[in-house]
Amino acid sequence: MPEIAKIIQNKALGGNLYRLVLESQSLQKAVPGQFVHFLVQSQAEPPTWDPLLRRPLSVYDLEEEKASFLYRIVGRGTKQLANRRPGEKIDLLGPLGRGFQITQDPALLIGGGVGAAPLLFLAHKLKEKQQKFVVLLGARTAQELAHAGDFAKYTQDLFLVTEDGSVGRRGLVTDFVPEVAAQFKVRPKLYACGPNPMLASLAAFAKEAALPLDVSLEAAMACGVGACFGCACQLKDGSMARVCADGPVFPYEVLDWGEKNG
């Protein structure tokens, strides 16, 4: 059922990134990699039908009754979401979708830009399970890595990469994956979320290095529950999967990494 949840925080972190924190009952059962479908409009105003659709956001973290979300303003939906204030109510549907398949293997978490969102919750869970993990986060600039501090809460094994070198190493996050992966004594499982070209590059690496890799895909969604087939992505076997209901997390090897998902 949709829940009308209370906003506790909706804070600009810099670099167009925001952290939204809610008090929610229904999200307490969320697992890392699942997402929540939000109506961005104010619940206090008369209804408007524009933007029409909900906006899907991965669960960023979950601590008792507090669920948090990391998002970046990319269009009119997220712009409206950024206008919501603490104390206001927000209409949400979730948790939705399938999360990461957490194995016993040591883990390498790789986040590109705001794609880091589902990885914080994963880091939280891995820490609870006392599993070894390393986090590798990349973005264009230091400003766009405003969320990096949140990860420091769960690990000291945090590597940062920026395209302009303003913080951490200079380059693309994918440039450093082979090097970091090689430092594990036991072969790691990779968990990644970020832009499609980054994921495609990681898929190629995972295949070459024979490492397991779960990717969390981003897609425009309508229903969010698997009914409309709008967020379809192409599978290697020629069939389609629904990012919302069959994903958003997929083992990389089932996906078609050709142009069709681009």
52 lies in the site for other proteins, by CB under 8 A: yes
> Which residue in the set 7, 31, 53, 73 belongs to the binding site for other proteins (CB under 8 A)?
53
Question: In whole angstroms, how close is the CB of 126 to other proteins at the nearest point?
Answer: 30
Which residue's CB is nearer to other proteins, number 167 or number 232? 232
Nearer to other proteins by Cβ, of 87 and 238: the residue is 238
Tell me if 135 contacts other proteins by CB under 8 A: no
String marking each residue 71-110 x if it binds other proteins according to CB under 8 A? ------x---------------x-----------------
- Identify which of 220, 147, 134, 139 has the alpha carbon closest to the alpha carbon of residue 184: 134
Q: Closer to other proteins at the Cβ: 13 or 198? A: 198
> What is the footprint of other proteins within residues 209-248 (CB under 8 A)?
219-234, 238-240, 245
- Choice between 152 and 228, CB closer to other proteins: 228
Site string for other proteins, 170-209 (x = CB under 8 A): ----------------------------------------
Tell me, by CB under 8 A, how many residues bind other proteins: 34
What secondary structure does DSSP assign to the chain, as a single string? --EEEEEEEEEEEETTEEEEEEE-SGGGG--TT-EEEE--S-SSSPP--SS-S-EEEE--EEETTEEEEEEE--SHHHHHHHT--TT-EEEEEEEESB-----SS-EEEEEEGGGGHHHHHHHHHHHHTT--EEEEEEESSSGGGTTHHHHHTT-S-EEEEETT-SSSEES-GGGGHHHHHHT-SSPPEEEEES-HHHHHHHHHHHHHHT--EEEE-----SSSSSSS-TTEEEBTTS-EEETTTT-BEEEGGGB--SGGG-
| 122 lies in the site for other proteins, by CB under 8 A | no
Which of 19, 54, 124, 189 is close enough to bind other proteins by CB under 8 A? 54
Residues near other proteins, by CB under 8 A: 1-2, 39, 47, 49-54, 77, 93, 219-234, 238-240, 245, 260-261
